[in-house]
Structure 1
Amino acid sequence: MGVAGTGKTTVGRLLAEALALPYAEGDAFHPAANVAKMSAGTPLDDADRWPWLDAVGDWLRDRAGLGGGVVAASSLKRSYRDRLRAAAPGAVFVHLTGERPLIERRMAARRGHFMPPALLDSQFATLEPLQEDEAGLVVDVSGSPEEITERALAALRRLPAAGN
């Protein structure tokens, strides 16, 4: 989870590979209307997000009995994460976070992504960080994707639910 530009896709893929779990790109679950709205520079509202979150939740639920999966999805609000947890109660959130200038630079360097840097303000305004009672961890996104992934893996291994 995290705002656009934090590396959810890259780190998610690396985490899935390291954990030998299937990976899904959360953006692929958006209906065409959501993609068009974001491409036009218009932030999504909750009504736009509910069907998307339900589709992501379905994917997670379908993998719960198979050992799980990794999906990159913004999950910016507590209510969004609650909805995903309702579908997949064992979900653990990895909140990728970093300094705004770093995230802006990464967004500006992306090519071929529908999410314009102009929507970063709305992402930060919407963001509700993980709360103490939520299963998850916070990982700083400075450094290479491999370094970020290693920090995430180390933190996941320390979680009581990780079985270690």
Structure 2
Amino acid sequence: MAGAATTPCALIVMGVSGSGKSTIGERLAERLGWRFEDGDRFHPASNVAKMSAGHALTDEDRWPWLQAIADEIDRVCAAGERAVIACSALKRAYREVLVHGRDDVRIVYLDGTQDLIAARLAARKWHFMPPALLVSQFKTLEKPAPNENPVTVSIDATVETIVDDIVRQLGLGPGSRTRP
């Protein structure tokens, strides 16, 4: 495994729906020259249908989804690649499945108020997550603890400012484009 000062092979951009995981993740990946994956694409169709119908997912619904993302992280890292993956990862247990003790995978937590995120969700018409489920997401959210070594950024800023903050906290610069 990589040391703490080593550039991670994967960044998991986490937060509740509407916090900007996909937007920030895509821009961060672009800035770093890494591949971007939206965790939503790893959901089985049954999960998407359930959320589209306005029903919150259970832990039983989430385990196969989280394991599929963890498997992709392992594949990326084993291949010597780097990726930014957007995934809600709301509970510590979910993040433990994704990271499973690796020190070359980092969590980036997009922190914002429920009011700010609700306003953003209300403006979105194209996403399968109904704004009414935001309350359940905040109820489920367990903010990353210091021993998870997260990068925490406020989402009450421009996309570029948020990405700049993430890159600064990670100590990643132009040299991070190279493969491990």
Q: Same fold (TM over 0.5)?
A: yes
**Match of residue 66 from structure 2:** 53
CA contact (8 A) 1:61 1:87 kept: no
Counterpart of 2:53 (choices 13, 20, 40) is: 40
- In structure 1, the residue corresponding to 2:109 is in which secondary structure? strand
- In structure 2, the residue corresponding to 1:92 is in which secondary structure? strand
**Match of residue 22 from structure 1:** 35
Unpaired segments ≥5 residues, structure 2:
1-13
**Match of residue 88 from structure 2:** 74
**How many angstroms apart in 2 are the aligned matches of 1:61 and 1:16?**
18
TM-score (norm 2): 0.84
Letter aligned with residue 45 of structure 2: A
**How many angstroms apart in 1 are the aligned matches of 2:146 and 2:90?**
15
1:138 equivalenced with 2:152 (yes/no): yes
TM-score (norm 1): 0.92
Query: C-alpha root-mean-square deviation of aligned residues, in Å?
Result: 1.6
Deviates more, 1:88-97 or 1:53-62: 88-97
Counterpart of 1:147 (choices 135, 150, 161) is: 161
Q: Would you say how many aligned residue pairs link Structure 1 and Structure 2? A: 159
**Match of residue 13 from structure 1:** 26
**Match of residue 7 from structure 2:** none
CA contact (8 A) 2:43 2:65 kept: yes
- In structure 1, the residue corresponding to 2:55 is in which secondary structure? coil
CA contact (8 A) 2:114 2:138 kept: no
**Off by >6 Å, runs of 4+ in structure 1:** none
CA contact (8 A) 1:60 1:87 kept: no
